[in-house]
Amino acid sequence: MLVFLFRSSLRFHRIKKSALPLQNPLIRSLYHDCLAQLRITKEIPVYTTAFLASPVIAGVLKPCIFLPLHLISDCRTGDIRYMLLHELQHYRHRNALIHCIGNLAGALYWFNPFVWYALREMKTDREMACDTSMLEMLEENAYRDYGNTLINFAEKISRLSFPSVMGISGSMAQMRKRIINIASYRPASPRQKLYGFVSYALTAALFAGFIPALSIQAVDHDRYHFREQGKTIRDLDLRSSFAGNEGSFVLYDTAADTWMIYHKEAALTRITPVSTYKIYSAMCVPLSSI
């Protein structure tokens, strides 16, 4: 998978080297209007190339937008404006960084089908989020025009084969979901926005609890956490049995509900490899019956 990502990045790098700065004055003026509309002050270069079928944005630290030459010559300015705004939404949402993390996850967990499913759904959600951001800034009578832009160019813009870049493209199934999302779009109410934010915060907190570095147990990962409150504990002196060797001994008497421990400090210390620990369960009989 790493080789595949490297080859794809190398192919796109060759396309980037052959691309030329956007020269069309009408499209350049339209692009600067899009930057002003989204209040983006960073100057993001725009290039044209004949080797792409779909407009894309690439780069985490130095993002660039690449427009296919055939779109500039064949498309209406309204369609190009929607495509430029969509690519700039990717920049606003910082999707490039998330995209790189997703590619890394796909390379590390190439064997896990659930990871591939999650990455595919994440890409669809990312595009739908950009579509929703687009609809929020458009008038209601422009929703249909934006949806028609996706429909009219669905066949052309669904051929993106570079995993290192992002664009308005997607599979036909993803495009279908996006069109349905656009057709059924209704501006979110303040209550819905609050519900969405609370749901996101709770989900993030839940998953953060599974991160070892943030868990309570990881605060002192070199020791076991043994709650002594409410337990009966007897200290044992087995120094003669250990004959000068370091170690510990723990015995739990289920009948008396009593813990008998020798060298408790050593018993609570994690020793690598911990997989060598063996826990024995024994059925004991009273000494008087022997």
**Interval 136-170: pLDDT, tens:** 888 888 888 888 888 877 665 545 556 666 766 66
Per the rule left: phi > 0, alpha: psi between -120 and 50, beta: everything else, 214 is alpha
Q: What is the pLDDT of residue 74?
A: 74
Judge contact between 163 and 96, C-beta under 8 A: no
Question: For the chain, give me the number of helices (H) and strands (E)?
Answer: 12, 8
Q: What is the pLDDT of residue 272?
A: 65
279 versus 20: the higher-pLDDT residue is 20
Q: What is the pLDDT of residue 209?
A: 72
- Reported confidence tier of residue 289, pLDDT bands at 50, 70, 90: very low
Q: Span 190-213, mean pLDDT?
A: 83
The mean pLDDT of the chain is 81
Q: What is the pLDDT of residue 33?
A: 92
Q: What is the pLDDT of residue 287?
A: 45
Q: Span 197-201, mean pLDDT?
A: 92
Q: What is the pLDDT of residue 290?
A: 41
Which of 107-111, 162-166, 182-186 is predicted least confidently?
162-166
Judge contact between 103 and 3, C-beta under 8 A: no
pTM of the model: 0.65
φ/ψ (deg, to 5) at 197: -65, -45
φ/ψ (deg, to 5) at 131: -60, -45
Q: What is the pLDDT of residue 288?
A: 47
State how far the alpha carbon of 24 is from the alpha carbons of 41, 237, 271, in Å.
21, 88, 68
Which of 62-71, 145-154, 266-275 is predicted least confidently?
266-275
Quick: pLDDT tens for 5-58: 888 888 888 888 889 999 889 999 999 999 999 999 888 999 998 888 788 888
